[in-house]
Structure 1
């Protein structure tokens, strides 16, 4: 699982804070405090809202940098900062260290170089990176889904789309863009006379600075002369603006862990001195400091003398079965009981239950241990009594937070799959805001202002919860049940305030029953042919070995093929192939670059093949084989995440079985390893063109409705409308791309890239589509207008996805418009498949069918059934899927039966 590194452009942030907040802010002694107030606000936000694992404060050091050797005039005309700012800077820097965070700076380099190097190393280790800065110089680091820039003052994130929206160039072009444009603030000369529009236009046409100069003869007018006269300055500017990503070779991210508890306690005296009253009020409200100690230096108190915040509930340990039964006897079938388990680990098929907690009000929560084991452990309640107690609790209305996890352990412990769940507070949180952090501790901190006891502070490293002393275990476990109860009640109130009481019914009718559906699927798993994988592994290793030898021979030397840096040197320096593009970390060797060089050298096809085979080997074959060996039944059990996407689609993890490749022969072969058990068959049922059918249903467009009602080829019908009868057959694939692309917000640039046509042609196709399907255009517009008016869209089952248009930049507003349309269709398709899964699960149980639902891959369901019943059950399940809801058009699903997954397509 990838981790997140947050890197602060420290001085840039301080300058931004200084100018963003009222500069007249001073304490009673007249000392300016605006910057300090901005900084404490930021740290508070970090603690509450930022889901990050590591945090690094990058700083500039005194003296010149290597850039002054390139150009002595670099940053020479910068004026001194205001004295009010200079006075606060040393205090703020000192606070970073005192609070327990770390700075990172190096003589001869700028903070931006620290950021670039950390980003490069973080990406190498598979981490995601958030750079907190408003400095456009860092835009060259943006890498969607991996590196984003965050403006902490405006609380906006900048990705590739935002960069393009603002500047008209991509992050990969940003160095060249700055090289042409220059920067008067830093004395970067650029190309004199060419401004933002000119630089953008040149890069759109020629892509890079090098290609601009290679094609000077085709550049007409004054720009050609300007470029010729400023060539030396342009390339010097490029050296100045290119950030160093190799200032150091390694970094231990564990030194920069973000999990610092109560950082403000370490600067309590300074907070009082500089009158940081907002932070002080929070500390006092949480009872972290007493009134009598408000003037004392809490930072100097030894850690073991510090008091945890006073909890506003009673945590009670129960080790006497008589007391336990007395409490449980008060429960009725209508009592809502918040319930949570404590276990020895996260794997239900290997780890054990050691205790459970529960809470029936907002005053007291209980922890009941039974399998703690350490020297001197007191007597606990017996296992048999625990089983009776859990059954009593489940006679009431049980609420959990991510209760699917708990149910795996409970049902295995009791050997009973019939226990019913009443509600899940995590699912309610997701229904309220599908894009918020959903963990119990984050929700507690953000919504209740309550910092929960940390697991790492309760369980010693290398040990399990079974080794935790009972009193400490009680504090931790009882709090989980208490916070779950608190949040559950809060979410019911929030849904009422949002005028979304219907979502409570949707949750009870669909989402909560879906937990049981997924539990059954996860427990069953899917069988893997280990022998097949073993043979495939040998084959793939041999292929990799052969490809490696061929690549070494063609390169004339041995090198690390998986190293982008080493490969770039081989291709573009040793073999002198034409450079496609350079990134901030060196030569780009991505698939697009290599594909463009296919005919340039015999090594390229070998490299492309090697990459495909290596990904197959490392991402799928080895991990799947390992998991199958660990199972006595050779079955792989994925974990489905019900709240993993904003649209409602399921995601899959440990392992992810929803992204197994199918488009290449070797990738498709992986699916052969997933097999039906002895005497069984696999059934695959796939909704046909579900999003387009939903478009026809919602928009009621006559052409679409007619095509689906009469079972016509929808893509061919679209091609006829767009290109005419004669050209339609040859243009069917184009129509298919347009049909699906427009549902997902595809614009003319993306369409031109996908179809390999000009943007002008793509624009004409889109315009013709909407001219031909005016009802569709009107419906798309109505989705966007409604999302702006109400701040959300609704799916078929009235699930909502919210969009904050009010506080959005123009770029984000455009993104929200695209996502609002996408969310209606993808979210509604998710509703239908979820309804079908629940219904089929119910039918299998009620009719005691010899069938199990194994996997959901977006719009497809996969089942394992007795071979002799495959046809009958396939037809039965397909009929349920096609009839799950009556729409304006018929739902259709395709049915395939086979011995392994690959035969289902």
Structure 2
């Protein structure tokens, strides 16, 4: 077998990874994006190349022997971002876990180490593979050495052999240094010859072969200006060639024997992956052993009792309950089994045994029997399908983890346990597999996995509550999120009735309109084409119709929505194209999309509310996403006609908060003018227009009010001058003037913004009125864009998050009030600041008083909270 030597340019690949990936960090706040990208590539190299010898070379420091030749070498480079430099020590720790040799040499660069060792490898007839993002290393290409240059971040690689190099650049490996000598390299501050780029350099080398021969025959160079530049910068050219030449005889103290690679220690690598938060990479490092075996070696022993008969003595006063499902959609997924852990033992109950047992049902429905779960809403809904209404839930590990840190991406039991310092449960993929290989294991393995999860809920309850108590968030979870989870579960189970015939009629109407629009577009274009193809649309707009080209892509002209919006006054075809796209999206996303998710048994839609997803605390929904039904386009609004009461003769009653976020802003900022405006029940946009434009109320025009409204809501969402300029179609300078005038008019808002940013920098997070936290690790970043985003987030999260808290509180209060009043009405949907209720006609008059009263008194602000309501036979009519 041929020995294979893989040499990796550590600095180059780390830099590429850092800038190719978003700034990631683990649960300790340590930045990891460079390490993650590097590791992903490393795993691919190990799988594809199967090296017998492997080295990662690093630069030793800023100063090298090249600086004695040219002091300004690499002088123009910006300082390495601290977010990257702090990752290098961790990257080297990871390489140690992989048993991969890494090396650096004072006064020399990684290129020199790679060049020297690759030469030794070639001499001993090794297959040498060099990995870098730096084309300087192309000079090392040979019959034995392939130089792999990464491009497009790290996802694609060009493999340079002598033949491929000649096909791409028409030069030999030896000519790479001559080319670089002529063209220089701005990234390393290597001068070269001014005005000579890659094409000119290659042209000269094709004629003269080498730099030396070029200058010996300078008179033969065509072009007076080029000849002058070459003559005037001869010294720079030769110095540049010297600087880019890799030293292939550097005094390295390692040889091929030192870089032998015999594989990695799975346990060490898995441990460091877990520490870095690389959950997605864990399953890639299990080697030949089964994933279950590897994980079970690391887990503590656990004694599981597989229950054969459900008896009362199985249940203690307090227990952790895990209801295991593989499918994400728990409305249709199958329960794999139940894990139960209490002070007496650890038990597995099969699904069939549990749901058919009256004893289990009695315990589950006993509100005095305390239960700790993971995801109370899922637990409630999954059992409701079997006619069991779960009561007595007093702890939810999912919601606890989410409240402790909503920025975490993984809130499953293994990830939470790892963050809390416990190692006692496998990841699902390690037990079930994934994709086509996914399968449920034998009962013994299944029972152990499910019980381990229940045991982790049992173990972590105290730790989670202690952290919530330290953060003063026990009230948030116990009084808001936990009660809400159960209400949302009831709403999901109840579902929303849909008039499928109405949706189909709307679909037919939309299809007819789309065909009509298509014909109009063809007539205006003067030919037929695929309207949905940017490749076909681009030439028609920008060549045939002669519209100004605003942006080009690698595949042609950009015809994105923002480009078309900028061109809509240029030709009558553009508005029709925009409308065609909007109607097309309605057809595919909402008409066809809604029909797909109608439950065949209940004939309703059972959306799933995501309670532990957004960092502001707002709810979102999936299958379908009911938060995004369009309201600007009349055709979009009409989709709401299909949402009807589930009982004939009933009504849809809709109530929504009026300008709740601006009222929260007035309360939090304590701005006197804002508070006064709301207390006097003034139209806030008119009041802002009066302040910004310095006019009386009677002089405020519709356009002034529109601009004021954009600024009002823009401030809430941390809008920039650029964002405001785009929404109002004005210049950035004009937009900044609006923002400045607004902040001058409402000095309390300006003061709030300054103070909240400073506070976030001191403590690292911001809070809502109900003490929901959002952590902002990037608010002290040296990167301007990241810091600016964090500052805007610090300003708007307390406002958006508090508004989310308020409507959640209103849902809880309203649910209990409806029950207290013995009303049949029930909440069926929440969308942004709006609650949707279905109710019999006889209760509408009661709701008209009760609902605004409850919603307006959910919390006490220093300004009045106002609720608007309407009702009708459909959701559309209730607007």
Q: Secondary structure of the residue that 1:608 maps to in structure 2?
A: helix
Kindly indicate whether the alpha-carbon contact (under 8 Å) linking 2:8 and 2:130 is maintained by their aligned counterparts in 1. no
Show the counterpart of 1:876: 850
Q: CA deviation at 1:644?
A: 1.6
Q: Which moved more, 1:828-837 or 1:764-773?
A: 764-773
Show the counterpart of 2:176: none
Residue deviations 1:76-121, cap 9 Å, x none?
A: x99984444568999999999xxxxxxxxxx999521586879xxx
Residue deviations 1:869-899, cap 9 Å, x none?
A: 2122122011001112222111111111111
Q: Secondary structure of the residue that 1:338 maps to in structure 2?
A: strand
Show the counterpart of 1:842: 816
Q: CA deviation at 1:450?
A: 3.5
Say how many residue pairs are matched.
686
Show the counterpart of 2:340: 358
The structure-2 alpha-carbon separation of the partners of 1:775 and 1:16, relative to structure 1 and needing over 3 Å to count, comes to same
TM-score (norm 2): 0.69
| Equivalent of residue 644 in structure 2, options 654, 675, 698 | 675
Structure 1 gap ranges (5+): 1-9, 22-40, 62-76, 97-106, 119-180, 194-225, 231-266, 286-296, 372-379
The structure-2 alpha-carbon separation of the partners of 1:625 and 1:189, relative to structure 1 and needing over 3 Å to count, comes to farther
Show the counterpart of 1:198: none
The structure-2 alpha-carbon separation of the partners of 1:49 and 1:489, relative to structure 1 and needing over 3 Å to count, comes to farther
Residue deviations 1:779-833, cap 9 Å, x none?
A: 2222222222222212111111122234563332222221111011111111111
CA–CA distance in 2 between the matches of 1:828 and 1:381? 41
Residue deviations 1:53-89, cap 9 Å, x none?
A: 999969999xxxxxxxxxxxxxxx9998444456899
The structure-2 alpha-carbon separation of the partners of 1:281 and 1:609, relative to structure 1 and needing over 3 Å to count, comes to closer
Does 2:500 match 1:538?
no
Q: Secondary structure of the residue that 1:321 maps to in structure 2?
A: coil
Structure 2 matches for 1:708-747, cutoff 5 A? 708-723=678-693, 724-725=695-696, 727-730=699-702, 731-747=704-720
CA–CA distance in 2 between the matches of 1:551 and 1:525? 41
CA–CA distance in 1 between the matches of 2:630 and 2:475? 38
Q: Secondary structure of the residue that 1:853 maps to in structure 2?
A: strand
The structure-2 alpha-carbon separation of the partners of 1:307 and 1:815, relative to structure 1 and needing over 3 Å to count, comes to closer
CA–CA distance in 2 between the matches of 1:344 and 1:778? 50
Q: Secondary structure of the residue that 1:885 maps to in structure 2?
A: coil
Kindly indicate whether the alpha-carbon contact (under 8 Å) linking 1:317 and 1:471 is maintained by their aligned counterparts in 2. no
Does 2:465 match 1:492?
yes
Q: Which moved more, 1:860-869 or 1:722-731?
A: 722-731
Q: CA deviation at 1:574?
A: 5.1
Kindly indicate whether the alpha-carbon contact (under 8 Å) linking 1:182 and 1:190 is maintained by their aligned counterparts in 2. no
Kindly indicate whether the alpha-carbon contact (under 8 Å) linking 1:268 and 1:299 is maintained by their aligned counterparts in 2. no
Show the counterpart of 2:756: 783
| Equivalent of residue 488 in structure 2, options 487, 504, 518 | 518
The RMSD of aligned alpha carbons is 4.6
Q: CA deviation at 1:515?
A: 0.7
Show the counterpart of 1:652: 621
Show the counterpart of 1:429: 401
Does 2:151 match 1:112?
yes
Residue deviations 1:301-324, cap 9 Å, x none?
A: 7889867324224141423327x6
Show the counterpart of 2:208: none
| Equivalent of residue 587 in structure 2, options 600, 617, 623 | 617
| Equivalent of residue 443 in structure 2, options 456, 459, 470 | 470
Q: CA deviation at 1:585?
A: 4.5
The structure-2 alpha-carbon separation of the partners of 1:397 and 1:547, relative to structure 1 and needing over 3 Å to count, comes to same
Q: Secondary structure of the residue that 1:658 maps to in structure 2?
A: helix
Structure 2 matches for 1:53-452, cutoff 5 A? 81-85=110-114, 110-113=149-152, 183-185=186-188, 269-271=262-264, 279=269, 308-321=296-309, 325-328=312-315, 331-332=316-317, 335=318, 337-343=319-325, 345-360=327-342, 365-371=346-352, 383-384=356-357, 387-388=360-361, 390-391=363-364, 395-416=368-389, 419-437=391-409, 438-448=411-421, 450=423, 452=425
CA–CA distance in 2 between the matches of 1:892 and 1:901? 21
Kindly indicate whether the alpha-carbon contact (under 8 Å) linking 1:345 and 1:464 is maintained by their aligned counterparts in 2. no
Show the counterpart of 1:637: 606
Q: CA deviation at 1:420?
A: 2.9
Residue deviations 1:423-445, cap 9 Å, x none?
A: 11111111111110222233234
Structure 2 gap ranges (5+): 1-6, 19-27, 50-72, 75-107, 132-145, 158-183, 197-224, 230-259, 276-284
Show the counterpart of 1:15: 12
Residue deviations 1:589-648, cap 9 Å, x none?
A: 1122223333544543332221011100110001112333x3444321111111121111
Kindly indicate whether the alpha-carbon contact (under 8 Å) linking 1:340 and 1:356 is maintained by their aligned counterparts in 2. yes
TM-score (norm 1): 0.67
The structure-2 alpha-carbon separation of the partners of 1:303 and 1:756, relative to structure 1 and needing over 3 Å to count, comes to closer
Show the counterpart of 1:138: none
Kindly indicate whether the alpha-carbon contact (under 8 Å) linking 1:315 and 1:479 is maintained by their aligned counterparts in 2. no
Q: Secondary structure of the residue that 1:623 maps to in structure 2?
A: helix
Q: CA deviation at 1:552?
A: 4.4
The structure-2 alpha-carbon separation of the partners of 1:748 and 1:185, relative to structure 1 and needing over 3 Å to count, comes to same
CA–CA distance in 2 between the matches of 1:488 and 1:881? 33
CA–CA distance in 2 between the matches of 1:558 and 1:54? 46
CA–CA distance in 2 between the matches of 1:305 and 1:358? 24
| Equivalent of residue 801 in structure 1, options 756, 770, 774 | 774
CA–CA distance in 2 between the matches of 1:302 and 1:823? 45
The structure-2 alpha-carbon separation of the partners of 1:85 and 1:117, relative to structure 1 and needing over 3 Å to count, comes to closer
CA–CA distance in 2 between the matches of 1:95 and 1:359? 54
Q: CA deviation at 1:189?
A: 9.8
Q: Secondary structure of the residue that 1:670 maps to in structure 2?
A: helix
CA–CA distance in 2 between the matches of 1:823 and 1:607? 36
Show the counterpart of 1:828: 802
CA–CA distance in 1 between the matches of 2:29 and 2:745? 51
CA–CA distance in 2 between the matches of 1:313 and 1:387? 27
Show the counterpart of 2:560: 590
Kindly indicate whether the alpha-carbon contact (under 8 Å) linking 1:748 and 1:763 is maintained by their aligned counterparts in 2. yes
Q: CA deviation at 1:385?
A: 5.1
CA–CA distance in 1 between the matches of 2:727 and 2:274? 58
Show the counterpart of 1:483: 456
CA–CA distance in 2 between the matches of 1:729 and 1:433? 45
Show the counterpart of 1:147: none
Q: Secondary structure of the residue that 2:641 maps to in structure 1?
A: helix
The structure-2 alpha-carbon separation of the partners of 1:467 and 1:270, relative to structure 1 and needing over 3 Å to count, comes to closer
Residue deviations 1:659-703, cap 9 Å, x none?
A: 100101111111111123411111111111111111222233222
Q: Secondary structure of the residue that 2:830 maps to in structure 1?
A: strand
